[in-house]
Amino acid sequence: MLVTDYLGQNSIKKIMFVFGTRPEVSKLAPVIFEARKESRLETIIVSTGQHREMLDQMLKVFSITPDIDLSIMEEKQSLSSVTVKIIDRIEPVILSYKPDMVVVQGDTSSAFLASLVSFYNKIPIAHVEAGLRSFDIYNPFPEEANRRFISVVSSLNLAPTKKAKENLLREGVKEESIIVTGNTIVDALYWIAKDISEIDTTKRLILVTAHRRENWGEPMEELALAIKELVMEFPDIAFIVPLHKNPVVREIFGKILSNVDRVELLEPLDYPSLIKVMKSAYLILTDSGGIQEEAPTFGKPVLVLRDTTERPEGIERGVAKLIGMHKENIIESVRELLTNQTLYISMSKAGNPYGDGKAGERTVKAIMHFFGMCERPDEFTS
């Protein structure tokens, strides 16, 4: 038992979930669903509103209504202003509700700052998707620092894979606080994808998503120029590019690709629409962490538009490849998958090393085990 002040198996524990972005909702939804099944757990849902429009789309998909919405989003806000607003607005909520545990996911500012305020108030923190590391403090920025900070103060570290657990152990995190659950995004994907059909098209579709701060500017221009050259070289391909709401991202892609044939620049897709495109794609170019985890479920090769990744399992399994953001490397990597059928089949058949659809159940059992309510759950093995 990890809690020294445990009050008895029949007591109801208040579990506060805090999120602020679309990926956090998709990865916490399976946990929230499982927690609501347990009569000894009371759930409190807090949204920081860090990414307003995309967050609201995802809440609608999963039919989740926050109990509290902090509404911190403003146009062109800095990391410093986000930090001040979240701390200022979440502390009164935590003090008012007095949760027995705060659950956060991943590496956003919302997750980090909710963890910090909880720590200041000596409330246990459960970190879903703990232990991911790129080992470069500025890549991705600021996410790599955020997730390291959260690990320092978390009482329960819910690692998605064995490798994530090993990262935590190397940093001195106590082994008894770590449980390997698998990644909850796979649960969410199974839940939504079963009713979604593929796009009917004669073209080989290539999905492109890019938004990370470290890729703004020249790297993103290199990507756009690579797309322009590839679509001219291969008449049977078409690119689908959902544009992030950030004006920096939209300006770069619009300037280079707005009038290019067979390149669709779209508004951000809701999650079911994104899954539909993912299922229909021939391959995927992305700097997104979530898509690295999702695409293997559909057997889609992933070319990762980064120099490092905190999700090395896909690289090691062979379903993904790190290619960075240099134009010539992007062109060559895509060309190889379009022309080398042996390589394509190898990547598409590699399987998903991140989860089995039962991570939400394991996560809730881990929380209940923390409070002495059940046995420690069996861990995920890929």
Q: Is 34 tagged catalytic?
A: no
Are 121 and 93 in contact, with CB atoms under 8 Å apart?
no
- Phi and psi angles of residue 178, each rounded to the nearest 5 degrees, phi first: -110, 130
DSSP-derived secondary structure for 90-140: HHHHHHHH--SEEEEETT-HHHHHHHHHHHHTT--EEEETTT---S-TTSS
Which of these, 128, 310, 123, lies nearest to 212 by C-alpha position? 310
Which of the residues 51, 133, 211, 306 is marked catalytic?
A: 211
Q: Is 107 tagged catalytic?
A: yes
Which of the residues 24, 34, 143, 310 is marked catalytic?
A: 143
Q: What is the C-alpha to C-alpha distance for residues 221 and 98, in angstroms, rounded to an integer?
A: 48
Maximal CA-CA distance, the chain:
67
Q: What is the C-alpha to C-alpha distance for residues 202 and 195, in angstroms, rounded to an integer?
A: 22
Residues 6+ apart with CB under 8 A from 46: 16, 17, 18, 19, 66, 67, 68, 69, 70, 90, 93, 114
Which of the residues 34, 129, 294, 361 is marked catalytic?
A: 129
Q: What is the C-alpha to C-alpha distance for residues 372 and 4, in angstroms, rounded to an integer?
A: 10
Which of the residues 52, 148, 244, 376 is marked catalytic?
A: 244
Residues 6+ apart with CB under 8 A from 89: 48, 70, 72
Q: Is 129 tagged catalytic?
A: yes
Can you list the alpha helix ranges (DSSP code H) found in the chain?
22-36, 52-62, 79-97, 109-120, 143-153, 162-170, 184-193, 218-233, 247-257, 271-280, 289-294, 312-317, 327-339, 341-348, 359-370
Q: Is 244 tagged catalytic?
A: yes
- Phi and psi angles of residue 302, each rounded to the nearest 5 degrees, phi first: -120, 125
- Phi and psi angles of residue 36, each rounded to the nearest 5 degrees, phi first: -70, -15
Q: Is 229 tagged catalytic?
A: no
Residues 6+ apart with CB under 8 A from 172: none
Which of the residues 204, 213, 317, 335 is marked catalytic?
A: 213
Q: Is 143 tagged catalytic?
A: yes
Are 287 and 209 in contact, with CB atoms under 8 Å apart?
yes
Catalytic residues: 107, 129, 143, 211, 213, 244
